[in-house]
Amino acid sequence: MTGNIIAKSTARGIKRGGVKLSTKLLGPFGVFLQGAIKEPGMVGAVFPSSKSTIDNMMKKVDWENCKLVVEYGPGVGTFTHHLLKHLPADAQLLAIDTNAHYVEHLANTIADPRFKAVLGSATDVERIVKEAGHEFADIVISGLPISTLPEDVAEDMIDATYRVLKPGGAFLTYQYRLKARRLTEQAFDRIDKKYVLMNVPPNHLTWGWKAA
C-alpha cells in the first residue's frame, strides 16, 4: 500500500473506535467530521468543493508537462482524486496536511504509486519536496483556509510556495475570502482570478504564476 507509512505511526493516538464508527456510517464525510473536530481552524468548509470549482481550477494547468504537484490541506481527498486523474503516469502528487487523521485516511485509501501523503506544515514545503527527491514543483494547490492563518504564517507559506515552484509554475487557491488572493498578488509575478457561484458557498479561485 502506498502513502506515508510514518503518518500511520504518528496517528496512533487517534481514538480509533470513533473513527471506525463514523467512517462506517458516513464514509469519507465521517472521516472529515472526525478531522474537523480535532482541528476545526484548519477546515475551510463543511461542504466539499463542487464540480464547477474543480473543473475551473484544473483547466489552466499544463498537465502533460507536470512532474510534481503539491497539495496543501487535502482533507479526505476531494481534490486529490481529481488531481490523480489528470496527473501523468511518471509524475508525483505530494499531499501535505497537519491533521494526522486525514493523512492516515489518505495513506490507507489511495493505492496509487504516484501519491504520497505527508504529515507536516505547508511552510516546510521546500524541505518536503527535497526529501521526496525533487528540486521544484510544477503546481501547488491549496485548500487550506488561509484567511484563518496568522498573517506571518500565511506570508511565510506563500513565500515558500513561490520559492519551491519552477519558473512558469503556479500556485492555485480556492477560498471563500480574499486574503489568499491579496497575499498571492504580493508574492507572485502575475495572477488570474475567477469567481465560482456554483459552489456552497461561492468561492474565489486564484492562480498565481511565477515568471518563466
Tell me the per-residue pLDDT of 97-109, one tens digit each, with 9 for 90 and over.
999 988 999 999 9
pLDDT of residue 76: 87
pLDDT of residue 169: 98
Which residue has better confidence, 1 or 142?
Answer: 142
pLDDT (mean) for 22-30: 48
Confidence of residue 38 (pLDDT cuts 50, 70, 90): low
Kindly report the pTM of this predicted structure. Answer: 0.80
Nearest CA to 19 among 100, 124, 86, 87?
100
Give the separation between CA 109 and CA 148, rounded to whole angstroms. Answer: 28
In tens, the pLDDT along 41-78 reads 444 455 678 899 999 999 999 999 999 999 999 988 98
Confidence of residue 30 (pLDDT cuts 50, 70, 90): low
CB 74 within 8 A of CB 80: yes
Question: 3-class DSSP state for residue 205?
Answer: strand
